[in-house]
Amino acid sequence: MKKIRDNFPKYLLTLDDLFGEMNYEGIEKRNVLNMAAGVNNDKREAKHRPVVEKCMEEARRMLHL
């Protein structure tokens, strides 16, 4: 992701909480469940929430949850 030269935010979405949420050279590591639930909510996350919710719904369907 570091090689992509644009002004869009870059997220590494994970399910782990081992090291918490981090930022490495503009790449934000976020827990996808916290992001979908609105934890640490900001305007950027609110804008992307419908996409995240749709992805979570698809993941649940694929995992039969």
16 inside domain: yes
* Entry pTM: 0.47
CA dist list (Å): 33 to 6, 25, 29: 26, 23, 12
Work out how many domains the chain is built from and give that number. Answer: 1
2 inside domain: no
3 inside domain: no
**42: domain range?**
10-63
Which amino acid belongs to residue 50?
P
Integer Cα distance of 42 and 63 in angstroms: 29
Residue 41 φ then ψ, to 5°: -65, 135
pLDDT band at 33 (very low <50, low <70, confident <90, very high): confident
- For residue 9, the model assigns a pLDDT of 82
**How many residues can be counted in the chain?**
65
pLDDT in tens, 34-60: 777 766 655 555 666 677 778 778 888
